[in-house]
Amino acid sequence: MKLIAANWKMHKTPSEAREYVNKFLELYEAKQGREVLICPPFTSLCAVQETLEGSEIKLGAQNCYYEKEGAFTGEVSLKFLKELGCSYVIVGHSERRHIFGESDEIINKKVVACLEEGIRPIICVGEKLEEREAGITFKVIENQLRLALSGVENYTDRVDIAYEPVWAIGTGMPATPQDAVAVHRFIRDLIKVLNPESGMNFRVLYGGSVKPDNAKEFTKYREIDGFLVGGASLKPETFIEIVNAFKDVN
Ligand code: 13P
């Protein structure tokens, strides 16, 4: 099942979120073989959850903390997110890693906490421009994935991975589908090596300047199991076009 996820980042108040979801539901047509997810900021989770009520569209958060509760001012635990109806959490997004200094160790703790709570993490990995230019893209991805999943067993049916090259995020310059496919294959092969006994029910999403006019090209490749969309998910009219790029794909 393909997964098309909207990461709104720090956009949309509760009232703006309600307005968006109402419009999106008017445009949305349920189809076999694809799952749609909306990840608003924490403060709009309730509004989105209430507006989505009765639809099959899923709700996710953009971040979490790994402790269950306690003296952690400003943090949000998975238990809180679960009660609000979140079934997914984005973990280790490039902006968390590079703006907020989130380490691989913290990302690993968050992945473990998600799995313990029964929330599906979307683990983000991706190389910086200088790393791509230095020819170490696969090495960087392997390192990020090994560390994010260290000590975790039998996870292949309970996580998804998003490949988001840092240089493609918010720049209007996506990876070519061929470059994305090469990394997606690498990720799939690596996870098979790390988890030889497990199923292969995880998805590898592409993220980074996905737009209505380039989405269709990516969907031609079976290695692209979906998208994680930032800027182009902020308008229902553009996000629906990206969702519909997977219309005929199973
Ligand atoms: P853009 O689609 O705005 O490039 O952002 C991608 C992203 O970071 C999604 O998580």
Report pLDDT for 248: 63
Report pLDDT for 10: 98
How many domains does the structure of the chain reveal? Answer: 1
Report pLDDT for 249: 55
Report pLDDT for 53: 96
Q: Which residues line ligand 1 (CB under 6 A)?
A: 7, 93, 164, 169-170, 207-210, 228-232
What is the spatial distance between Cα 184 and Cα 42, in angstroms, rounded to a whole number?
29
Low-confidence ranges of the chain (pLDDT < 70): 248-250
- How far does the centroid of ligand 1 lie from the alpha carbon of residue 176, in Å? 15
Catalytic positions, written as ranges:
93, 164
CATH of the domain at 16: 3.20.20.70
The domain in which residue 18 lies consists of 2-245
- Residue 150 belongs to some domain of the structure: yes
Report pLDDT for 247: 75
Per-residue pLDDT tens digits for 64-107: 999 999 999 999 999 999 999 999 999 999 999 999 999 999 99
Which DSSP letter does residue 55 get? S
Report pLDDT for 106: 98
Our mutation pick for probing the ligand 1 site, out of 160, 210, 214, 241, counting the most ligand atoms within 8 A of Cβ, is: 210
CA 220, chain centre distance (Å): 20
- Residue 192 belongs to some domain of the structure: yes
Our mutation pick for probing the ligand 1 site, out of 3, 8, 9, 243, counting the most ligand atoms within 8 A of Cβ, is: 9
* H/E segment holding residue 120: strand 120-125
Determine which residue's CA is closest to atom 5 belonging to ligand 1: 230
- How far does the centroid of ligand 1 lie from the alpha carbon of residue 228, in Å? 7
Report pLDDT for 76: 98
- Residue 32 belongs to some domain of the structure: yes
SS3 162: strand
CB 52 within 8 A of CB 21: yes
Greatest C-alpha distance within the chain: 49
Q: Which residue has the tokens 């238990």?
A: 79
- Residue 250 belongs to some domain of the structure: no
